[in-house]
Chain A
Amino acid sequence: MKQIIAIIKPFKLEDVRDALLRIGVYGMTISEVKGYGRQKGHTEIYRGAEYAVNFLPKVRIEIVVPADDADRVVETIAAAAKTGQIGDGKIFVAPIDHAMRIRTGETDAGAL
């Protein structure tokens, strides 16, 4: 099993979800996060006081899939989340040792 973590622009969330549904990914967990990479931040001005805002709002998607599906999921997210502009985000893939569905007690592939 693989965990895919994607940090994307918030307004791209619906596009990514639709694309993942089309390839048969039926579950995901998302959180609203803040961060920056090469995009850095931006400047806000309040009555003449300037503040550098380093952390920009992003959405973090977590999906766990069978190892064989990981590449396809990564490609799908990348295609759906891409705008070509700086700040599109990143995707990480990590191994998962074990999984369980709490309601039924099913484990590993059966729990996904």
Chain B
Amino acid sequence: MKFPRVFLQLLFVAVCLTFATRAAVNPGDNDWRAVDPAELASTTPTVEKDADAEALFWEVRLLDEVDGTVPRTVLRHYVRIKIFTDRGRESQSKIDIPFFNNWRITDIAARTITPDNKILELKKEDIFERTIVKASGRKLKAKSFAMPGVVPGAIIEYRWREVRNDTIASYIRLQLQREVPIRLVKYYIKPLSLPDFPYGMRAKTFHGQNTPFVKEKDGFYSTTMENVPAFHEEPRMPPEDAVRPWILVYYSEDKKLAPAQYWKELGKQSHEQFKSWTKVNDDVKKSASEAIGDAASPEDKLQRLFEYSRAKIKNIDDDASGMTADERAKLKENKSPADTLKRGMGTSADIDMLFAAMAIASGFDARMAKLSDRSDTFFDPDFLDDYFLTTYDIAVRVGDEWRFYDPGSTYVPFGMLLWQEEGVDALIADPKEPIWVQTPISGPEKSLEKRTGKFRLLEDGTLEGDVRIEYTGHLAADKKEYNDDDSPSQREETLRDMVKSRMSTAELSEIKIENITDPIKPFVYAYHVRVPGYGQRTGKRLFFQAGVFSHSAGALFPSATRTHDVYFHYPWSERDDITIELPQGFALDNADAPAPITPAMTRDICAQMIKMSTDGHVLNYQRDFFFGGGKSILFPVRGYAAVKQLFDVVAQGNDHTITLKQSATN
């Protein structure tokens, strides 16, 4: 479940991210710094050998201050970039500085130093101010300019001053890595300092090693990082902010608490909030009793409560609720679980709190578990701030264990959480002793793609038959989330595209898509398919791949090199049961199966077993695959070669070809 974010937070984060990818300042004055002739003459980058451009330095001077009674953040940016190639010229020579209503952008200056040391200054009339969007009193504007006379070999530099009124720099992410490599990135920071202001500015670096902050003149502190390569995105990598180096700047009171004490305090506060959100009255008790009915075991009781809270309360946060933005806005806020019951509708949070309240009413020890979202970054409990604990689930003690539940997320099955919330540290609130517990990761068997096909292969290579594919667990949740907002024809189109991406000639008919918005049942595709040219015919043989559902999917990791760790969202498994009626007049020339990948070969992380058998007329193909055993979903980059090789072998097994030979009588 996600906490809703308010407008200003989102806007602020968006803008911070944007500017964090921009640039920096000349510390203190408005003069250009001298250009080193060696840098102007250089023809090769130093940080990354194939770079098209390289920032020689990238500086930001950040100052929080009060102007009269208005707090504001003032940033001075100063960037110097060496251009090496035409690509570098293309990507770096147009500058946009976006800003909002109550910000001011001043002191823009820019110049190009050509390879023959001519200086081309940006003229004032070549700076354009535009209103990008305006609405309801809000404006996004931009000052834009093109750097004059940029050619490979040139150095460009630009700087500007930015004043953000009515805010201070708290909880902003300062990027140390950009889209180009940087020789030196430097931040100067001057915190707000007022006599009665109890908060101190703090900075925490993630995924990088910048220098310790040192005191500079005029109350600034500076930190640097050198030779930072450009950021390159890769498929199946951890979230960006879990790999890029960056600094979180924020204000907080220094309570001088040890980590254990800090989290204890937070856990206590959370519990107080939780208590106020889960008040039990007679209606809640009555509903809990009705829901539990004759269930006897704790697990059964909780499952009944889970299903009841989902079935009886319409989730207004759900795409498939059919509610418009207007209708949502009109709804009154539920102030208690009793309100939620009474109105029969509520937010995801309302549903979770109702579940918790009913569990408490039924004698369970239910708590709020605050946790992080691993689609954003990976949580580090040594960082003493709740900034990353953006979400929560309901923890219920069953025996000696804490179990976690999230009925507010419509498609999450009982016993599972959103994948973003599985395998993360959860702070279980308590009036006295909050504790950290790791949420479980659902095993591969919980997220199964089960594919069944009954086909006939014709003499000309056409494959025809009926297919049923069932998805459970996280796979089902992903499918439901993707499809629930689409019309029936769009859902069919999505299926067609999926099948045709591997078999371009496939013709689908009799399509049925089941349980799209059902929170419990598997998501199901059923269809009839005809694939002309599936098998390849030669003079006396017919070749085809028995792995109808898995062949031609391609290797997952075709690249030889890798920068980032490999990260899968969750473990999953696949089971294929296929029968193929062979064409008359043909007999198997071979039906040997590809070599298995056994759990023992992969330390129980992955396996693929393909079995084939035949009675001469029908080929039976069965494939069992899983990945992510032992909760292994994150692999360090040093192990990339092994991961790549594993998936190469999986792909080769899936593309395994069967040969039929024309019998002599045909």
Tell me, yes or no, whether A binds B.
no
Residues of chain A touching chain B, judged by Cβ–Cβ distance below 8 Å, are: none
Residues of chain B touching chain A, judged by Cβ–Cβ distance below 8 Å, are: none
